């Protein structure tokens, strides 16, 4: 790994702004769709059960690919993966905004989640590269940590405002100018490292984990409509036991 040149204090703090913005957007994209869901359901024809996947697709892709994002960041350099994550997030946001069907909308949200899974671990690595070993590290972590709840709150507020005064596709489009701002300053502000990839990168394992998470979420979401109610299940159990002779009916 090559040693990056020290950055000026001004550039370090600007780098922190970019990193905190990344944390802000990653969390914002989980909450910004809340108010818009009824309009999305009406316009794209989601069923009540499938509507949850507008949220779930993002979260499942993010959680399933997060470890892969960290591994790629270590192998190829945090700044490269950080930038790549933002490009993927932009692509997913544009697709989700332009969606005209249920499948395209869910795919756009999954791509957004995949981009965020690259951004989040790379951002934390960049934070340590900028402030690790300095007296400003606690301050930097405080700013980074505060960005998450602010992003969650801002997402709910922005989702409501954009849905009310514009239209639901704008809840996805709002991510694009923020991403372009971050990309415009990343090359000159964030430290560059060159790391040689060692060992294997388990893409297949990450995909398997993601598919497994999706299957679990699908089962949980669809359990109420596929499972019987407690009354019939109890009645069947009791009938079986009477038939087997373990319970003697009182006559």
Q: Is residue 3 part of a domain?
A: no
User: Domains in the chain: how many in total?
Assistant: 1
22-40 burial, b for 16+ CB within 10 Å, e for fewer? bbbbbbbbbbbbbbbbeeb
How far apart are alpha carbons 220 and 202 in whole angstroms?
Answer: 27
Q: Is residue 233 part of a domain?
A: yes
pLDDT at 222 over 70: no
Question: What pLDDT does residue 231 have?
Answer: 44
How far apart are alpha carbons 109 and 95 in whole angstroms?
Answer: 8
Q: Is residue 251 part of a domain?
A: no
pLDDT at 248 over 60: no
How far apart are alpha carbons 143 and 124 in whole angstroms?
Answer: 12
pLDDT at 33 over 50: yes
Average pLDDT over residues 78-98: 95
Q: Is residue 226 part of a domain?
A: yes
User: Which H/E stretch holds residue 87?
Assistant: helix 78-98
pLDDT at 2 over 60: no
Residue 4: how many other CB atoms lie within 10 Å? 14
Average pLDDT over residues 91-119: 94
Give 52: exposed, middle or buried? Use CB within 10 Å, 0-12, 13-18, 19+. Answer: middle
CATH of the domain at 129: 1.20.1250.20
Which of 60-69, 85-94, 222-231, 239-248 shows the lowest per-residue confidence on average (mean pLDDT)? 239-248
Range of the domain at 129: 9-244
What's the pTM?
Answer: 0.82
Question: What pLDDT does residue 3 have?
Answer: 45
Please report, for residues 51, 99, 111, 171, 225, the alpha-carbon distance to residue 45 in angstroms, rounded to integers and kept in the order given.
Answer: 9, 12, 21, 18, 19
């Amino acid at each position: 790994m090559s040693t990056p040149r020290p950055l000026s204090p001004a550039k370090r703090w600007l780098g922190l702004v970019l990193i905190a913005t990344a944390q802000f957007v990653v969390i914002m994209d989980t909450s910004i769709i809340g108010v818009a869901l009824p309009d999305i359901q009406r316009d794209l024809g989601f069923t009540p059960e499938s509507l949850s996947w507008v949220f779930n697709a993002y979260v499942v892709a993010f959680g399933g690919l997060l470890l892969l994002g960290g591994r790629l960041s270590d192998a190829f350099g945090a700044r490269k993966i950080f930038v790549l994550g933002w490009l993927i997030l932009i692509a997913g946001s544009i697709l989700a905004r332009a969606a005209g069907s249920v499948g395209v909308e869910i795919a756009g949200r999954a791509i957004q989640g995949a981009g965020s899974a690259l951004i989040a671990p790379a951002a934390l690595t960049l934070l340590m590269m900028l402030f690790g070993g300095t007296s400003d590290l606690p301050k930097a972590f405080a700013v980074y940590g505060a960005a998450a709840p602010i992003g969650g709150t801002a997402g709910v507020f922005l989702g409501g405002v954009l849905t009310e005064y514009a239209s639901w596709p704008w809840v996805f489009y709002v991510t694009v100018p923020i991403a372009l701002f971050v990309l415009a300053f990343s090359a000159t502000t964030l430290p560059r490292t060159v790391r040689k990839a060692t060992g294997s990168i388990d893409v297949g394992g990450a995909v398997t984990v993601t598919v497994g998470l999706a299957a679990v979420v699908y089962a949980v979401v669809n359990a109420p409509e596929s499972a019987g109610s407690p009354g019939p299940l109890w009645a069947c159990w009791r009938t079986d036991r009477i038939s087997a002779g373990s319970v003697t009916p009182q006559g």
